[in-house]
A and B are shown apart, each in its own frame.
Chain A
Amino acid sequence: MNRVTEMELMRLLHGELPSDRASALRARLEREPELAAALARLRATWDGLELPPAAPVPLGFAVRVAARAREEKGRAISWATAPAWVRGAAAAALALGILLGAGAGRWTTGEPVPAEPPVAAQAQEEPASVATADDFASSLLDDSLAGSYWAALDETAESGLTEDTPASTGGGGDAL
């Protein structure tokens, strides 16, 4: 059985096959036991997918979320309505912090940082701080390039099976 026929069977199972094609396929199903067996297998796979009922909505969920939104809105308003000198001072403090942070290494050792450390020294060097796997994952995923990478990876994984998009996109047909 080819892939197109299997996809037609899946559409029939999901009620997504237009009625004329559904009738034709049903006629074939009566004549071809192999096709009927394939449909039965698909149905068993589909029906075999079961999950427990979802947890009930937590009490007061909507009110809590709205309170968070109100909080966020309040913060945004207080920042937007702050006097210009307050915002300017905050920006200057941030810039100064960054500059100080960048220069801290040199100030603490009192020695100029060598342009390129020797290879042996590089091998023995310990990392300044050990980030957790979660931190690293977050930093990678926050990068839009990494996002594209994962999207591409998913697509590659998905195309592990034969890639073949059918031309037909009928809808709203009969379910079996």
Chain B
Amino acid sequence: MGTQTFGQPATADPGWALLARVAAGETDAFTVLVDIHQERLLRLCERLLGDAEEARDAAQDVFLKAFRKAAELRPQGQVYTWLYRIAVNHCLNKLRRRRLVRFLRFSDPADEEDGGVSFDPPDRGADPAATLEARRRWQATRKAIEKLPAGQRAVLVLARFEGLSYRQIAEVLGITEGAVESRLFRAMRRVEGAQEMNASRVPRKEGLR
């Protein structure tokens, strides 16, 4: 935690000037805005949705929403906070939709291998055992995150994988720091339970071989 790569005061954030140009209809300014924030937003969407391809579509939607809303904005806080908020809401909506579709199909996410998400981990080098082990850990994490309620999932992803402080998360989600702490605590408890269950399953599977 505490990786605050973009904690500048509102006045120092050049993003607002850029947004003003976007609002005036300058699409070149919009290209620059996307260029600045694309890496973070794509990563956030991928962490929340668990799928790189879906994340690309989501990030594009987020930027287009920002483009449409640019004229309505007043410089307040940080541009990234506003973009993160749009992204989190958009992704959580997508997740709810996904959950509802599963419910209507009477399918249990636990029945789907890898929690319904396929991973394509990059080649980490020569050691296949290490790659397999890393893949197992990633899948366990993804499953644990998928089982969290939307609010807890957002807080956990922002804290663990985006390195945002409690204050920054509170700004992004529009909640209090106390609520961030409380959600994170509950998320950690659930994840701990999932990790324990996962750990107790692994030796049993190996014993069957």
Contact = CB atoms under 8 A, between A and B. Distances in A.
B73 interface: no
A37 interface: no
Interface string B87-124: 00000010011001100110000000000000101100
* A interface majority secondary structure: helix
Contacts of B188: 10, 42, 45-46
B185 A6 contact: yes
A68 B63 CA distance: 10
A65 B96 contact: no
Contacts, number: 166
A147 B97 CA distance: 10
Size range of the chain A interface in the assembly: 35 or more
A161 B189 contact: yes
Interface string A64-88: 1110111011000000000000000
Interface stretch (B13-21, B76-84, B171-179, B201-209): B171-179
Given A55-B46, A136-B104, A166-B181, A171 B149 contact: no
Interface residues of B, number: 69
Given A7-B181, A66-B27, A175-B1, A51 B101 contact: no
Interface of A: 3, 6-7, 10-11, 14-16, 41-42, 45-46, 48-55, 57-58, 61-66, 68-70, 72-73, 133-134, 136-138, 140-141, 147, 150, 154-155, 157-158, 160-161, 163-169, 171-172, 175
Given A61-B59, A133-B104, A171-B177, 5 more contacts: A16-B2, A48-B141, A52-B121, A69-B30, A137-B100
